[in-house]
């Protein structure tokens, strides 16, 4: 058997666009023949999938699932919204969610997990070739409680447990599900609508707070001219404290009434139930959040494909 060198793997990667391990396997299968290895990759759909992997994937689906006192949310992206309606894609997202509920939210572990027709990563690669556009297993997060309930909510659902926004709310409590389910559902709907940045003020990212504080200080700079240090501090710090309260879940005003902090809503529910209820954690995945979408000129793409200049 011919020796598979790093240089050969590099050459095949550059020629086919396939992954390093796939290139190494292709060269092993073809006794180091670059051309044959390229054909082997194409026959497996790996070269085609690799070419599509450079295309921005900001559509797709968020999947949520709950098992006992733990729940998980995953995001799988595609290039177009049409794929979200594809049965193959929906089944894959459900399968990935089922894997994640057992393994946790380590993406590498999820990709390596077995499915009936191969590993998660292998099935994803095959789906890229079958469906014809790039797809990415982007992220996953698990929440759990030792006692209580994890309540799921999907906004803009495409199918059961699949949609554009997926939310999980973890309530640590000895109250019954008759109390926790409706409370958790309302809090989850609030999370979907209000987009909190963290559970509590103390959990807010210091860099985010400082960036906002710098903007607010500059915005209010003229207002403190000629003011005493005490008054100036109130003018500058007031908006910062307001920002913190409005972006931490527990101190946000509950969207159901617009006046009660979420932490007070939970406290009242606990008092009425005669039990302790603690909002331990939450997840909010919004499809494509933070992904910069490519702007395409369809007419220009058609002209380029036909060799006509514009």
Burial class of residue 15, CB neighbours in 10 A (0-12, 13-18, 19+): middle
pLDDT score for 57: 59
Q: Is the pLDDT of residue 308 over 70?
A: no
User: Residues 142, 120: contact at Cβ < 8 Å?
Assistant: no
In a domain, 251, yes or no: no
Both 21 and 118 in a single domain? no
Tens-place pLDDT, residues 16-42: 767 778 888 889 988 888 888 887 876
Q: Which residues are within 8 A (CB) of 29 and not within 5 positions of it... i.e. 6 or more apart?
A: 37, 40
Quote the percentage of the chain above a pLDDT of 70.
88
Both 147 and 42 in a single domain? no
**119 beta partners:** 114
pLDDT score for 47: 59
- Report CA torsion sign: 299, 305, 308, 310: positive
Q: Answer with the residue of higher pLDDT: 38 or 102.
A: 102
Q: Give CA–CA dist 147/149, Å, rounded.
A: 7
In a domain, 291, yes or no: no
Query: What is the extent of the structural domain holding 47?
Result: 6-52
Q: Give CA–CA dist 63/178, Å, rounded.
A: 25
Compute the radius of gyration of the chain from its Cα atoms: 25
Tens-place pLDDT, residues 121-178: 999 998 888 888 888 999 999 999 999 999 999 998 989 999 999 999 999 999 999 9
Element (H, E) at 35: helix 34-43
Both 188 and 41 in a single domain? no
pLDDT score for 23: 85
In a domain, 243, yes or no: no
Both 26 and 121 in a single domain? no
Q: Give CA–CA dist 261/267, Å, rounded.
A: 10
Q: Give CA–CA dist 109/91, Å, rounded.
A: 19
Both 32 and 66 in a single domain? no
Q: Answer with the residue of higher pLDDT: 306 or 235.
A: 235
Both 183 and 69 in a single domain? yes
In a domain, 160, yes or no: yes
Tens-place pLDDT, residues 253-282: 999 999 999 999 999 999 999 999 999 999
Cα angle for residues 167, 168, 170 (degrees, 5° grid): 155
Tens-place pLDDT, residues 274-305: 999 999 999 999 998 877 665 444 454 444 44
In a domain, 33, yes or no: yes
- The count of structural domains within the chain is 2
Both 80 and 186 in a single domain? yes
In a domain, 258, yes or no: no
pLDDT score for 169: 98
Q: Which residues of 157-195 are buried (b: 16+ CB within 10 A; e: fewer)?
A: ebbebbbbbbbbbbbbbebeeebbeebbebbbbbbbebe
Q: Give CA–CA dist 68/290, Å, rounded.
A: 31
Q: Are strands 135-144 and 70-78 parallel, antiparallel or unpaired?
A: antiparallel
Half-sphere exposure of 298 (CA within 13 A, CB side): 0
| Residue 94 Cα to chain centre, angstroms | 15
In a domain, 219, yes or no: no
Both 35 and 94 in a single domain? no
Both 138 and 162 in a single domain? yes
CATH number for the domain spanning 28: value is: 1.10.8.10
Both 88 and 154 in a single domain? yes
Both 29 and 156 in a single domain? no
With H, G, I as helix, E, B as strand and everything else as coil, classify residue 61: strand
Both 91 and 190 in a single domain? yes
User: Residues 246, 125: contact at Cβ < 8 Å?
Assistant: no
Q: Which residues of 100-125 are buried (b: 16+ CB within 10 A; e: fewer)?
A: bbebebeeeebbebebeeeebbbbbb
Average pLDDT value for the chain: 86
In a domain, 73, yes or no: yes
pLDDT score for 55: 52
Q: What's the whole-number mean pLDDT along residues 49-57?
A: 50
pLDDT score for 133: 82
The Cβ of residue 298 has, within 10 Å, a number of other Cβ atoms equal to 7
């Amino acid at each position: 058997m011919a020796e598979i060198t790093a240089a050969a793997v590099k050459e095949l990667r550059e020629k086919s666009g396939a992954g390093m391990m796939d290139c190494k396997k292709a060269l092993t299968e073809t006794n180091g023949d670059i051309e044959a290895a390229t054909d082997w990759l194409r026959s497996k759909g790996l070269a085609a999938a690799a070419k599509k992997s450079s295309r921005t994937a900001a559509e797709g689906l968020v999947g949520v699932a709950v098992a006992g006192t733990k729940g998980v949310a995953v995001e799988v992206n595609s290039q177009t919204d049409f794929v979200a309606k594809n049965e193959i894609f929906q089944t894959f997202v459900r399968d990935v969610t089922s894997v994640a509920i057992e393994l946790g939210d380590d993406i590498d572990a999820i990709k390596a997990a077995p499915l009936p027709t191969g590993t998660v990563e292998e099935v994803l690669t095959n789906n890229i070739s079958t469906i014809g556009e790039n797809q990415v297993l982007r992220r996953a997060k698990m929440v759990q409680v030792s006692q209580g309930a994890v309540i799921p909510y999907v906004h803009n659902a495409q199918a059961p447990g699949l949609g554009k926004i997926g939310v999980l709310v973890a309530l640590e409590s000895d109250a019954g599900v008759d109390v926790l389910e409706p409370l958790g559902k309302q809090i989850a709907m609030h999370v979907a609508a209000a987009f909190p940045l963290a559970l509590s003020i103390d959990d807010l990212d210091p860099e985010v707070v400082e960036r906002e504080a710098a903007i607010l200080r500059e915005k209010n700079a003229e207002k403190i001219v000629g003011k005493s240090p005490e008054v100036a501090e109130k003018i500058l710090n007031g908006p910062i404290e307001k920002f913190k309260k409005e972006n931490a879940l527990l101190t946000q005003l509950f969207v159901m009434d617009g006046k009660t902090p979420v932490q007070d809503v939970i406290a009242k529910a606990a008092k009425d139930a005669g039990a302790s209820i603690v909002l331990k954690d939450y997840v909010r995945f919004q499809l494509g959040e933070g992904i910069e979408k490519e702007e395409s000129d369809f007419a220009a793409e058609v002209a380029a494909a036909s060799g006509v200049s514009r």
